[in-house]
Chains A and B, each alone.
Chain A
Amino acid sequence: MRVLVIEDDRETAQFLQRSLKESGHAADVAGDGDTGLAMARDGKYDVLVVDRMLPRRDGLSIVQTLRSEGARTPVLILSALSGVDDRVTGLRAGGDDYLTKPYAYTELLARIEALARRPAPEELVTRYQVADLSLDRLSHKVTRDGEPILLQPREFRLLEYLMKHAGRVVTRTMLLENVWDYHFDPQTNVIDVHISRLRAKIDKGFGKPLLHTVRGAGYMIRDGAD
């Protein structure tokens, strides 16, 4: 995957470049808004990581310009602005995701990967399948190994999100934002408790666990050994 990081802080940019490389992705760095916009126009990038405050041209303006030119490349906006409205402004400008500084690298990586491999028209996918676990989005039925599993509405949405990103790490914050639509940080690890409830329903009593905890990052549903 090719990632363009538009970030004016050299150290942060280099850290991201190194880390993304270690994670198996190619990353280019632009140090200011104008360069960033030019590179984003020319290069074929899978994801753009755009800092909001940049010299010469701010991040939101880059995203707006790209969107007005018809570019659909997913954009993750990074910002030190964390107000409730700042996020809305960022997403309204055309950003696909919004991450507040300071962030954990694992969080950033999970979000970049989620953005890059986003299936195009997700409404068309009506059924998710991971090993013998299947979820029907239309009938809201979940079965494992043919056995129906009864889930609460929220548990269903939690599982749906996990299965939509099957094989990829999903962080607690991503779950909180996408399943509950909360952008604040509950002091207790509420997500862990919900996950363990869900795990009890979909994994308990079945041979192979599918819902895995990824240490220091989050959770992942996948078909494979732990």
Chain B
Amino acid sequence: MTALTRLVASSPFRLSLGYLGAFVLVAAMIVGFIGWRANELLTSQVIETLTAEVVGLREQYQVGGAARLRDIVADRSAEPGGGLYLLTDATGRRMAGNLERPPFQAQDGQGGIFRYRRASDAVTRKDRMAVGVPLAVPGGLTLVVGRDIEDQRQFAATIRNVALWSVGLLALVGIGAGLLISRSVLARIEAINGAARTIMTGDLSSRIPVAGSGDELDRLSSSLNDMLGRIEELMGALREVSNNIAHDLRTPLNRLRNHAEEALRHPDDPGLYRAALTKTIEEADELIRTFNSLLLIARLEGRAVAESMTRVDVGAIVADVAELYEPVAEEAGLQLAAEVAPGVVITANRELVSQAVANLVDNAIKYSASETGQDGLVSVTLVERPEAVEIAVSDRGPGVAPEDRQRALQRFVRLEKSRSAPGSGLGLSLVAAVARLHGGGIRLEDNAPGLRAVLTLPKAGVKPETSVPVSKARGLGTAPAVPSTAST
């Protein structure tokens, strides 16, 4: 496709061509109508004048007879202007007037257009147009009164020509402008096209150029760029996840395979068989657990779940989890202190929030226990803010360095120091996913010493509430979602 055919085929050009066509058509119709109407109006005006004059002349005849009529006609014929007269007697001989011969048969009132030649035009032999009205006068006389309309016709012709020229010029300028506009629009769309093709061939980091004018093409480009950014982010996340899955799932799968192989190498040792199979089941369970966590996180992040949100007492949820873990902490030589007052009602999923809090407490106990020589306190607090609740789990463990905190919330990330501790490394990212699902967030802070994980949940949840009398009684309507503090 050549540049010109592409230009002509472009939608802006076709669009401007269409507009132009419609415009020219309407303009031509208007000009034509005005011309026709003007001509009509002028002609009828002339005929009216003529008729009035004829009536006047007839009266003159009645008063003064043929002689008077002849004198008046002779007088008027001599006057400059457009007046045309011819008075003939019964034999058709000219008695007075400035017309050479009668333009048409004398029939009273039946006027019309005729051609005549002025004496001054004898050399050019050019006929002029006129309108005339014949009048039969008693006594066999015939009078024709006319008006020259050549000037009027020429004026109309001039207007017509000017109109035609302007419409033609308009069409030309329009087509030119259409081509220019199409070219510039086409160039920008081509740029977007080109960028899109580059991106499609695999370079996700490429972006569509933005002209900076803030027009709709720029807005389109920015939207597409934002979309590309999101896609790139997701692709990156996906790549990282698959890398991590490859690592964290292949390792236990490999161990599982090793146990089976080892058992097969010693065919006559039932004890070893037993041990190997037990270990195989343990590894399988661990794998299943990891898979389940991964799936749950994926479901929560994909919002594919319509997990039922209800009004729940978050105080009771936190207290229950603390109670569940209290003996575990004690066994690990730690003290689990929960300062939680029940009766704080929020819109949330009890199961998911329980699991998130359990993960935080589990982590706190796990990492504090591996650290010796500390006073070993894990504290769980619930703070009620106007729009949200903050559940904080603090420990006196090794903590997480500020630069590692964001990374710790990502999937599978187990900071090097904690590699030896059991777990899939999905605990915190599950908490983050639960927080995001509820419209809240998770942040990690320094507990000096230790780590403080704060889970924020908006009181109203993310979904608009339906018939929940509790919320109405407490005046907890539709509070805006608390901005997420996690951005993994």
Residues of A within 8 A of B (CB): 82-85, 88, 102, 104, 154, 180, 182-188, 190, 193-194, 196-197, 216
Contacts and interface: CB of A to CB of B under 8 A. Distances in A.
Contact of B324 (A186, A196, A216): A186
Given A82-B295, A85-B306, A190 B324 contact: yes
B309 to A, nearest CB: 10
A93 to B, nearest CB: 16
Contacts of B299: 83
A184 B427 contact: no
B351 A190 contact: no
Interface string B348-388: 01011011001100100110000000000000000000000
A193 B354 contact: no
B289 A185 contact: yes
The 6 A-B pairs with the shortest beta carbon distances in the complex, nearest first, are A193-B327, A184-B355, A84-B307, A84-B351, A193-B328, A197-B327
B237 interface: no
Contacts of B295: 82
Given A82-B292, A102-B288, A188 B366 contact: yes
B81 interface: no
Contacts of B359: 187
Contacts of B349: 84
B292 A185 contact: yes
B308 A85 contact: yes
Contacts of A84: 305, 307-308, 349, 351-352
Contacts of A102: 284, 288
A83 B366 contact: no
Given A84-B307, A88-B308, A185-B292, A190 B354 contact: no
11 contacts: A82-B292, A82-B295, A83-B305, A83-B307, A182-B358, A187-B359, A188-B366, A190-B325, A190-B327, A194-B324, A216-B278
Given A85-B305, A180-B324, 20 more contacts: A82-B295, A83-B299, A83-B305, A83-B307, A84-B351, A88-B308, A104-B281, A182-B324, A184-B354, A184-B358, A185-B289, A187-B289, A187-B359, A187-B423, A187-B424, A188-B325, A188-B362, A193-B328, A194-B324, A194-B327
B275 to A, nearest CB: 13
Contacts of B212: none
Given A185-B289, A185-B292, A190-B324, A85 B358 contact: no
B305 A154 contact: no
B323 interface: yes
Contact of B328 (A82, A85, A154, A188): A188
A182 B328 contact: no
A184 B284 CA distance: 18
B320 interface: yes
Contacts of B323: 154
Given A84-B351, A197-B327, A180 B306 contact: no
Contacts of B270: none
A13 to B, nearest CB: 20
A85 B307 contact: yes
B289 A182 contact: no
Nearest to A153: B323
B331 interface: yes
Nearest to B285: A104
B422 interface: yes
Contacts of B362: 186-188
A165 to B, nearest CB: 21
A102 B283 CA distance: 13
Nearest to B422: A187
A193 B423 CA distance: 18
Nearest to B426: A187
Contacts of A188: 325, 328, 362, 365-366
A182 B427 contact: no
Contacts of A184: 351, 354-355, 358
Interface string B455-485: 0000000000000000000000000000000
Given A84-B307, A102-B288, A186 B351 contact: no
A182 B351 contact: yes
Contact of A183 (B284, B351, B422, B424): B351
Contacts of B331: 193
Contacts of A182: 324, 351, 354-355, 358
Contacts of A187: 289, 359, 362, 422-424, 427
A144 to B, nearest CB: 21
Nearest to A152: B323
B73 to A, nearest CB: 110
A217 to B, nearest CB: 12
A107 B27 CA distance: 87
A104 B320 CA distance: 27
Nearest to A88: B308
Contacts of B285: 104
Contacts of A216: 278
Contacts of B423: 187
